[in-house]
């Protein structure tokens, strides 16, 4: 049975593409381009969101989830979920661009419009961080791990088994759990019945968190677009690539630009050279895009290394970002390296004796305070808008025209119901009600901040400090002040079993989804339903594969993060057991709270300086994320973008900036094409785990 799986998957893919080909034969309705400079140019009559584009978007979502799960778990070629803008959605969107180029050149009536491509782009992004390392891979492996890996040595059963939410987890019987990691005997059916409970809750929890995000962004959409005028670089990127398909001519103007293709082949050519090297091993590998650990430059003893990691997607996608944000991201990382080095060398720590925060922990506390202040400031500057939203929802004096993607009244109601559900679920996990409320608030702060500043910067590797907030909650409150149920519940919420991990499913995509598609339909609720359709299609497709594939191949034989028995499978539970069993519990620590407040005050000072001094060059964003994975690994790529854009603006002004844009736009496309071609070569010539890992950190 295991040997027939690749052929079956190939048949599924071909069936999907055949269905797509049928839809492409339909005639295309008239459409118009989404103008990124709509505020500066007359608005064209908006195109319609067509049924064809919705069906193609849903089909793309299903295929990308199957592809991402199989490529990561079985082929071992790469992980397609390493950022808030995952390669899992970028690859199929890139393929659609090239397919549509051919259609426009030879079958123009069948070609997709720019609007239809934007629908596919947006739906794919919403579902792009669902598969494998985005959410479902960790969800399945984490829930099945306790029963299989518990032993007298790790003391899991003694520490927390009686406090685990077994109602949220698969059936613990050996017939369900053991073959999930060891593999089923030939001709043995998959025990789906043992996964009914986790499938139910694994659907309910993401829908609740997604609904909260949808409702929050409906409320904030007009504030971010009209009042704060966020730049949405990732929306601009999509519009630049798709708008030409609404113009006359066989080839869109952007794709006739030599500057565009220069950026493409600069990156794709390196991949092509290395792929030839898979067969001609005498060819030296070009490692300019090598992983960050191979790019470490050690500055001095006790100082963290500087990673000269070059990632074309970061360079290209942040080109539309404001210079002050770019400067902030790399400058504060450089400053963080200096601070860490000094503290490491001097042995500096903060906190009560026996529970001092190490240097890295101090920067996390400082960054968390900064992130909280950014979130609170975002609410403060939107206070007038939020008051009008409230009055509009109640229909009282001072109500304004309800111009959100959906009714403000429904949005407020949906946000409230979703929040109550999330708090209730955390309480059911064992977390006390006050701590569940605090944890939900911290989760919202993290997700909202990442979503807003991804829209503001285009930097797709913004990962929240303390992820969902659980570790910071334990640090600030003290584990001595938390019950055993609190510790177990917080531990479970902060694993991959509860709506993803560093890579946040859907939330960073939603503001862009509303920005791109709201103007293309008079039925504003359609945009919301598209988000739900995309998410559920991806969720169900990926759920099927992350349960099915381990039974066929054996979970321990699969590749990468979620099924690593020395890391992701056991590490969360080892940490949980240590917290529950340890005798030296931490207590409330005023010094650590003080560091958080210091970080918040730093952000407040920079906000005041930005408002008072027009020349002030630093945005506070970099301080909040100074010690997180994104700036730590990709600060050099951000520096390259900042340096290039600064030079372009200084030498040629806005005219040169616009002329250079096609070059930067195509750097990510060249990278995506290279990653896809490498995976295709692996699928044909290096199947079943012998692939080449070409995309990661």
Measured CA to CA, the distance from residue 472 to residue 534 in angstroms comes to: 32
pLDDT at 688: 62
Measured CA to CA, the distance from residue 345 to residue 144 in angstroms comes to: 42
pLDDT at 697: 78
Q: What are the structure tokens assigned to 538, written together?
A: 């991806």
Q: What are the structure tokens assigned to 6, written together?
A: 């690749």
185 in Cβ contact with 601 (< 8 Å): no
Residue 410 CB: number of other CB atoms within 10 A? 16
Kindly give, in sequence order, each residue whose CB lies less than 8 Å from that of residue 226, ignoring residues fewer than 6 positions away: none
Domain spans in the chain, listed from the N-terminal domain onward? 51-686
Measured CA to CA, the distance from residue 349 to residue 181 in angstroms comes to: 42
Kindly give, in sequence order, each residue whose CB lies less than 8 Å from that of residue 308, ignoring residues fewer than 6 positions away: 295, 297, 636
Instruction: Give the gyration radius of the chain's Cα atoms.
Output: 25
624 in Cβ contact with 335 (< 8 Å): no
Does residue 466 come out as left (phi exceeding 0), alpha (psi in the -120 to 50 range) or beta? left
Measured CA to CA, the distance from residue 488 to residue 495 in angstroms comes to: 11
pLDDT under 50 in the chain at which residues? 1-45
| DSSP run (H or E) holding 296 | strand 296-297
Q: What is the DSSP string of 662-676?
A: HHHHHHHHHHHHHHH
Backbone angles phi, psi at 296, to 5 degrees: -75, 135
Measured CA to CA, the distance from residue 488 to residue 572 in angstroms comes to: 11
Q: Roughly what angle, to the nearest 10 degrees, separates helices 510-517 and 233-242?
A: 40
Contacts 24+ apart (CB under 8 A), 411-420: 411/214, 411/215, 411/216, 411/218, 411/219, 412/215, 412/219, 414/211, 414/212, 414/214, 414/215, 415/211, 415/212, 415/215, 415/216, 415/219, 417/211, 418/208, 418/209, 418/211, 418/212, 418/215, 419/212
696 in Cβ contact with 78 (< 8 Å): yes
Q: What are the structure tokens assigned to 510, written together?
A: 């939603």
Kindly give, in sequence order, each residue whose CB lies less than 8 Å from that of residue 293, ignoring residues fewer than 6 positions away: 307, 697
| DSSP run (H or E) holding 297 | strand 296-297
């Amino acid at each position: 049975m295991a040997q027939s799986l690749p052929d079956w998957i190939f048949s599924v893919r071909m069936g999907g593409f055949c269905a797509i080909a049928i839809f492409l034969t339909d005639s295309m309705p008239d459409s118009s381009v989404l103008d990124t400079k709509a505020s500066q140019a007359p608005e064209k009559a908006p195109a319609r969101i067509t049924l064809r584009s919705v069906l193609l978007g849903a089909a793309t979502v299903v295929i990308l989830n199957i592809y991402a799960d199989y490529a990561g778990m079985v082929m071992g070629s790469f992980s397609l979920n390493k950022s808030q803008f995952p390669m899992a959605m970028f690859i199929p969107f890139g393929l659609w661009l090239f397919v549509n180029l051919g259609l426009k050149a030879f079958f123009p009536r069948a070609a997709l419009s720019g609007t239809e491509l934007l629908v596919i782009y947006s739906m794919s992004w919403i579902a792009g961080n669902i598969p494998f390392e985005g959410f479902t891979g960790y969800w399945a492996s984490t829930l099945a791990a306790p029963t299989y890996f518990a032993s007298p040595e790790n003391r899991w059963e003694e520490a927390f088994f009686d406090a685990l939410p077994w109602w949220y987890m698969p059936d613990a019987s050996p017939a369900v759990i053991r073959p999930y990691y060891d593999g089923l005997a030939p001709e043995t059916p998959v025990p789906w019945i043992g996964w009914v409970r986790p499938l139910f809750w694994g659907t309910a929890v993401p829908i609740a968190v997604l609904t909260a995000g949808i409702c929050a962004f409906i409320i904030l959409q007009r504030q971010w677009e009209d009042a704060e005028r966020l730049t949405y670089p990732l929306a601009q990127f999509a519009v630049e690539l798709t708008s030409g398909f609404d113009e006359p001519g066989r080839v869109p103007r952007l794709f006739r630009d030599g500057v565009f293709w220069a950026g493409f082949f600069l990156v794709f050519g390196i991949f092509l050279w290395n792929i030839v090297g898979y067969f001609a091993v005498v060819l030296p590998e070009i490692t300019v895009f090598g992983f960050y650990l191979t790019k470490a430059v050690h500055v001095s003893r006790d100082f963290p290394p500087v990673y000269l990691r070059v990632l074309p997607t970061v360079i290209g996608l942040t080109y539309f970002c404001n210079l002050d944000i770019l400067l902030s991201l790399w400058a504060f990382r450089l400053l963080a390296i200096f601070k860490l080095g000094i503290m490491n060398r001097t042995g500096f720590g903060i906190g009560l004796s026996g529970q001092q925060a190490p240097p890295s922990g101090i920067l996390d506390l400082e960054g968390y305070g900064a992130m909280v202040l950014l979130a609170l400031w975002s609410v403060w500057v939107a206070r007038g808008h939020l008051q009008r939203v409230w009055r509009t929802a109640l229909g009282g004096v001072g109500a304004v025209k309800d111009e959100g993607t959906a009714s403000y009244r429904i949005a407020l109601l949906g946000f409230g119901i979703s929040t109550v559900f999330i708090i209730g679920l955390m309480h059911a996990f064992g977390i006390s009600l006050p701590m569940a409320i605090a944890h939900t608030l911290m989760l919202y702060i993290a997700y909202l901040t990442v979503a807003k500043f991804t829209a503001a910067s285009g930097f797709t590797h913004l990962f929240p400090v303390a992820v969902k907030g659980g570790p910071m909650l334990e640090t600030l409150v003290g584990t001595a002040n938390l019950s055993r149920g609190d510790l177990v519940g917080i531990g479970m919420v902060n694993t991959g079993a509860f709506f993803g991990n560093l890579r946040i499913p859907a939330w960073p995509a939603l503001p862009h989804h509303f920005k791109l598609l709201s103007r293309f339909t008079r039925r504003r609720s359609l945009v919301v339903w598209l988000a739900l359709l995309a998410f559920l299609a991806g969720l169900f497709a990926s759920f099927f594969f992350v349960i099915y594939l381990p039974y066929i191949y054996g979970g321990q034989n699969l590749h990468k993060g979620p099924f690593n028995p020395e890391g992701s499978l056991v590490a969360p539970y080892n940490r949980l057991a240590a917290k529950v069993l340890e005798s030296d519990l931490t207590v409330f620590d005023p010094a650590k709270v003080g560091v958080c407040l210091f970080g918040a005050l730093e952000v407040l000072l920079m906000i005041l300086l930005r408002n008072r001094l027009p020349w002030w060059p630093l945005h506070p964003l970099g301080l909040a994320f100074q010690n997180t994975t994104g700036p730590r690994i990709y600060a050099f790529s951000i520096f390259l973008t900042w340096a290039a854009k600064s030079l372009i603006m200084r030498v040629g002004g806005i005219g040169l900036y616009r002329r250079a844009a096609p070059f930067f736009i195509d750097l990510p496309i060249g990278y995506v094409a290279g990653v896809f071609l490498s995976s295709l070569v692996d699928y044909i010539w290096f199947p079943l785990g012998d692939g080449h890992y070409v995309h990661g950190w």
